[in-house]
């Protein structure tokens, strides 16, 4: 009886062992990795090489993308890998620490970039050709297929990582600048900027201390976090103290608090959405509150992009731009001693197509603008001061006045061409309504000058070039934007991507000196160099005031990056 019992136990053990081996073989089944390879503008890349690399960077398997930019790697054993994509005229893209589980289907989308695009630090929205290089924006792309710029640990090759790569942990910069600055920005300034990135989080700190008769202060704190693949939350808090800005009826010293938040999300492949809000609280003799929501949707289909956006304030329109320094100052004016904020309703729908190095874009827009801000300057009389119809900055002799509300609709046509890896060219044409000011004979009051403004149809034409000199490291941008000289507001005023009015020039030049352990750059920024578009008039007491699309501004300084 012992032998049969033993045989039964042995056969049971063998059956159990075979079952476990079969289950183990099933559990360790191969996986698949697939995705889409695009360029920085979202265009699928045909024939890009995708390689699966082991921990020692040896090639395990590879494939090429199809005519829709898609790839699939079959029969991938469980383990940790690196995924690399490369293509002609692009930098390689490397996704590190890709963990593959048994019987899983992993989707990894990759983005290829040129060297020029990579060195521009790849903002969450492709940086425009004529956009200033000195304003740090959200340098960390946090959504699913948007990259980080970094350096490989084993060499100087610059690569772009689409996943959990390590971004630069800390960047800091100090800038000393001065010159004939803009409204509320006069005197010598010390700017401090810091960015800290850690995985899916990014923190931005800025401080601007101005030295005039009364020191001004401008501070910004920004935070970005990836909540999930394809979904990013951003928030910004700014405080501004301009003690020299003066308003009518004994109002002096402006303080403003601006709170902004936004969220972007990928709804599906080729479809994304964004929305956000701005809250402003401004004090200048009295306190004014405002709330400005915005939203948009973006559709990618191959080389074609269709977008729709709606906004209620020129400063807060896009989720990835809410920390831009030039948009955080309140668009504030005054009328009859009461504070007013420029706002309204802006809607636009655009179609863009990318062909080779050229991008074409056509936009139709509609604006309802309330309390438009009109810039001016000159020495004020006591009557002008007591009118309560302007804000005045004694450090720059510049003023802000309120134009009449108006409606505008029109179109904007743009073309951008990457001439080579270091040079961009863009041209744009727009038409729509703008406030104009007729010549005023004789001596008139400030109120008469403001009341003489009226909207009329006008056109705008702009051209710009920007680039970088490889050997010298010089970054430069020059632009010219023309409008009829009797216009005192811009055509398509909600469009912050157009160049500054008339002739403008920006240069940033690295200064190589072994004495400094950090990077030093000299910069100069000139706007409306020829002081065009001024509409002067003689006031009742004989002084001269003027209104203009934009005042001439000349700034220069040194920047120290750590």
3-state SS, 478-493, equals: EEEEECCCCECCCCCC
For the chain, the domains span 1-112, 170-561
153-176: average pLDDT: 52
pLDDT attached to residue 122: 36
pLDDT attached to residue 138: 40
pLDDT attached to residue 218: 87
Backbone angles phi, psi at 268, to 5 degrees: -165, 180
- Could you report the per-residue pLDDT of 449-495, keeping only the tens digit for each? 888 899 999 999 999 999 988 888 899 999 999 999 899 999 999 98
- Could you report the per-residue pLDDT of 174-228, keeping only the tens digit for each? 888 887 778 888 888 888 888 887 767 788 888 888 877 777 888 898 888 888 7
Give yes or no for residue 148 having a pLDDT over 80. no
Topology of domain 170-561, per CATH? Porin (2.40.160)
Beta strand 535-539 with 443-444 is parallel
- Could you report the per-residue pLDDT of 40-97, keeping only the tens digit for each? 778 889 889 999 998 877 889 999 999 889 999 988 888 889 898 888 777 788 888 8
Own/partner pairs, 409-412, CB within 8 angstroms, 24+ separation? 409/364, 409/365, 409/366, 409/367, 409/433, 410/364, 410/365, 410/491, 410/492, 411/362, 411/363, 411/364, 411/365, 412/361, 412/362, 412/363, 412/365, 412/492, 412/495
CB-CB contact of 126 with 114 (8 Å): no
Q: How far is CA 511 from the centre of its chain?
A: 27
List, in sequence order, every residue forming a beta bridge with 364; answer none if it has no partner: 349, 411
- Could you report the per-residue pLDDT of 296-323, keeping only the tens digit for each? 999 988 889 999 999 999 888 888 888 8
Judged on CB neighbours under 10 Å (0-12, 13-18, 19+), 337 is middle
Judged on CB neighbours under 10 Å (0-12, 13-18, 19+), 168 is middle
Q: How confident is the model at residue 244 (pLDDT cuts 50, 70, 90)?
A: confident
Angle at CA of residue 295, ends 290 and 300, nearest 5° = 160
The span from the CA of 351 to the CA of 349, in Å, is: 7
* Sequential DSSP letters for 42-61: S-B-TT-EEEEE-TT--EEE
Architecture of domain 1-112: Sandwich (2.60)
**73-89 as b/e, with b when 16 or more CB fall inside 10 Å?**
beebebeebbbbbbbee
């Amino acid at each position: 009886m012992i032998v049969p019992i033993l045989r039964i136990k042995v056969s049971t053990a063998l059956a159990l062992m075979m079952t476990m081996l079969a289950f183990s073989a099933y559990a360790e089944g191969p996986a698949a990795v697939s995705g889409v390879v695009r360029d920085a503008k979202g265009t699928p890349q045909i024939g890009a090489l995708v390689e699966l690399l082991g921990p020692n960077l040896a090639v395990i398997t590879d494939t090429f993308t199809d005519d829709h930019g898609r790839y699939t790697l079959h029969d991938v054993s469980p383990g940790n890998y690196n995924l690399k994509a490369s293509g002609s005229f692009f930098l390689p893209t490397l996704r590190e620490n890709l963990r593959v589980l048994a019987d899983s289907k992993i989707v990894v989308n990759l983005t290829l970039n040129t060297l020029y695009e990579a060195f521009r630090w790849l903002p969450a929205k492709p940086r425009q050709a004529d956009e200033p290089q000195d304003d740090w924006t959200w340098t960390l792309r946090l959504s699913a297929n948007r990259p980080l710029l970094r350096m490989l640990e084993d060499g100087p090759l610059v690569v772009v990582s689409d996943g959990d790569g390590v971004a630069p942990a800390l960047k800091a910069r100090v800038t000393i600048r001065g010159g004939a600055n803009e409204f509320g920005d006069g005197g010598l300034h010390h700017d401090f900027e810091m960015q800290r990135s850690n995985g899916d989080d990014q923190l931005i700190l800025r401080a601007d201390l101005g030295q005039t008769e009364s020191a001004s202060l401008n501070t910004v704190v920004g935070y970005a976090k990836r909540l999930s693949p394809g979904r990013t939350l951003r928030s910004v808090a700014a405080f501004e103290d301009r003690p020299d800005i003066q308003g009518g009826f004994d109002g002096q010293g402006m303080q403003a608090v601006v709170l902004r938040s936004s969220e972007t999300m990928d709804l599906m492949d080729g479809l994304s959405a964004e929305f956000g809000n701005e809250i402003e609280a401004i004090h200048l003799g009295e306190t004014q509150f405002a709330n400005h929501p915005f939203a948009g949707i973006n559709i990618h289909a191959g080389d074609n992009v269709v977008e729709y956006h709606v906004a209620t304030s020129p400063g807060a329109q896009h989720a990835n731009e809410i920390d831009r320094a030039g948009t955080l100052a309140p668009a504030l004016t005054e009328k009859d001693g009461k504070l007013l904020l420029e706002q309204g309703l802006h809607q636009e729908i655009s179609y863009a197509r990318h062909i080779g190095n050229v991008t074409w874009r056509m936009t139709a827009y509609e604006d309802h603008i309330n309390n438009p801000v009109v810039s001016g300057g000159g020495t004020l009389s006591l009557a002008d001061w007591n009118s309560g119809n302007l804000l005045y900055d004694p450090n720059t002799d510049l003023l802000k006045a309120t134009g009449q509300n108006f409606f505008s609709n029109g179109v904007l046509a743009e073309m951008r061409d990457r001439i080579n890896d270091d040079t961009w060219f863009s041209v744009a044409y727009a038409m729509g309504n703008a406030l104009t000011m007729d010549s005023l004979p004789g001596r008139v009051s400030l109120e008469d000058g403001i009341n003489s403004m009226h909207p009329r149809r006008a056109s705008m034409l702009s051209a710009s070039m920007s680039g970088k000199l490889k050997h010298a490291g010089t970054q430069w941008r020059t632009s010219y934007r023309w409008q009829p000289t009797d216009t005192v507001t811009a055509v398509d005023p909600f469009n912050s991507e157009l160049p500054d009015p008339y002739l403008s020039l920006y240069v940033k030049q690295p200064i190589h000196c072994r004495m400094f352990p950090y990077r030093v750059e000299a910069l100069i920024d000139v706007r409306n160099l020829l002081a065009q578009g001024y509409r002067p008039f003689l006031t009742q007491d004989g002084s001269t005031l003027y209104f203009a699309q934009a005042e001439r501004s000349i700034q220069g300084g040194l920047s120290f990056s750590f």
